[in-house]
Amino acid sequence: MADLNVGMVGAGFAAQFHTESLRQVHGLDVEVTGVTSRRPESAAAFAERMRIPRVYGTFEEMLADESLDIIDLCIPTHLHLLMTQQAAGAGKHVIVEKPLTGYCDPDTDELIGDTVPRQDMLDAVMADLIETEAVLRASGVIFMYAENWVYAPALAKARRLIEHSNGMVCRMRAEESHSGSHASYAKYWRLAGGGSLLRTGSHPVGGVLHLKQAEGLARNGQPIRPLSVMAEVARVTQSERYRRAPSDLTGDLADCEDFGSIIITFEDGSVAEICSSDLVLGGVYNYVEVFLSTGRIRCDMNPNNMVQAYGPTDDSFGDEYLAEKISTRQGWNFASADEHWVSGYHAEAQDFAEAVYQGRQPLSSWQLARDVTAVIFAAYVSAEQGRRVKVP
């Protein structure tokens, strides 16, 4: 019998790499024993492909299975909090993919990104977070926020360097950008919950908040929290100039931004500069740079130069995977040696499994998920109103 049994909700890309990563856990026997999805045929195909023994007809049927310890939610953003509450109410520990939540309204066809004031969005999102936190506290289950940047080897090393330094983290810069989402839902705010600031910006925001939390815990036993934000967003790909220009970008956004920038001021006076966009070619562009009073750290997560491969044609290396979102396989490319490991998914699964088995909080927990959401939606208010906004 397994030490931990996991029920996978969703049958897409995230569900696949979550399943693969959970199977890499060592020291504990962790098994993904069942799957459910909105489309039963997708769940059945996923179960066959991933060798999962059981398919549940509904989420409710999965929650009723007393053998399951953990529910892993790899589902659209607008369902995260509702299904987290349902899982917690059933006494199941919960893994939730990023972003934790957004301002969504899947029942309307309106372009809410053009019509809903950002302060209304912030108020609604914070009310949802307060309600979900109350459910989690009452249930006593462990909430695990699948922010893989926390576990990426580069960022994990930066955390340890910060924890063993006597200096102050004075400033940070971080970014996640690429050439645009291929997901059809990302075009609409009502489905995605926000634009690039939420969809890709949640990674660098989560990374810098985690490092400041770690610094504070190492210095005085209390995390250093975000205090206020100043932000700007843009819809570059909707400009008249862009429409007349040749482009290899893939985004086709209706009412979402394709660029976002945030300056976060922390309680101790330090600052972080965040950028996220759908405007960068050449593959995923992920980095964090940390400026301490006693040193400097640079984390190049994607791309990194561990493996560099040159191919004169697209099929020089057959169908072997190179890296995410590269525009061409011709010429030089940074070929990922093990993208799941480099991105932190293996270490994430290990920490989550150990947290549940040992009855402790994971490195990436509710507090980080909640703070990331609060920062991003305060940033939306700041960008709309042109002022500094306190993080609620």
Percent of the chain with pLDDT over 90: 85
Average pLDDT, integer, range 116-134: 98
Q: Are 235 and 251 in contact (CB under 8 A)?
A: no
Say yes or no to pLDDT of 279 above 90: yes
Question: Tell me, what's the pLDDT at 360?
Answer: 98
Q: Which residues face 265 on adjacent strands?
A: 228, 271
**What is the Cα–Cα distance from 327 to 284, expressed in whole angstroms?**
10
Average pLDDT, the chain: 95
Question: Using one digit for the tens of pLDDT, what is the confidence trace for 1-46?
Answer: 799 999 999 999 899 999 999 999 999 999 999 999 999 999 999 9
pLDDT in tens, 132-186: 999 999 999 999 999 999 999 999 999 999 999 999 999 999 999 999 987 888 8
The span from the CA of 125 to the CA of 129, in Å, is 6
Query: CA neighbours within 13 Å on the CB side: how many for 224?
Result: 23
What are the structure tokens assigned to 250, written together?
A: 């893939």
Which residue ranges make up each domain of the chain? 4-140, 148-346+373-390
Q: Would strands 389-390 and 226-234 be described as parallel, antiparallel, or unpaired? A: antiparallel
Kindly tell me if the per-residue pLDDT of 80 is higher than 80: yes
Tell me the two tokens of residue 351. 């920490």
Domain with residues 4-140, CATH architecture: 3-Layer(aba) Sandwich (3.40)
**What is the helix (H) or strand (E) element at residue 369, kind and residue range?**
helix 366-385
Average pLDDT score over residue span 116-120: 98
Residue pLDDT, tens place only, 314-367: 888 898 888 887 878 888 888 877 888 889 999 999 999 999 999 999 999 999
Mean pLDDT of 207-233: 97
What is the predicted pLDDT for the residue at 303? 83
Q: What is the mean pLDDT of residues 231-254?
A: 93
pTM of the predicted structure, to 2 decimals = 0.94
Q: Which amino acid is at 123?
A: D
Of 104 and 323, more confident: 104
According to DSSP, residue 149 is labeled G
Q: What's residue 333's pLDDT?
A: 84
Q: What is the pLDDT of residues 368-380, one digit of tens each?
A: 999 999 999 999 9
Nearest to 325 by CA among 299, 348, 342, 302: 302
Reported CATH class of domain 148-346+373-390: alpha beta
Nearest to 148 by CA among 289, 350, 374, 303: 350
How many of the other CB atoms lie within 10 Å of CB of 319?
5
Q: What is residue 22's predicted lDDT score, i.e. its pLDDT?
A: 97
The pLDDT tens digits of the residues spanning 188-198 come to 999 999 999 99
Q: Is the peptide bond before 362 cis (omega within 30 degrees of 0)?
A: no
In this predicted structure, what is the pLDDT of residue 369? Answer: 98
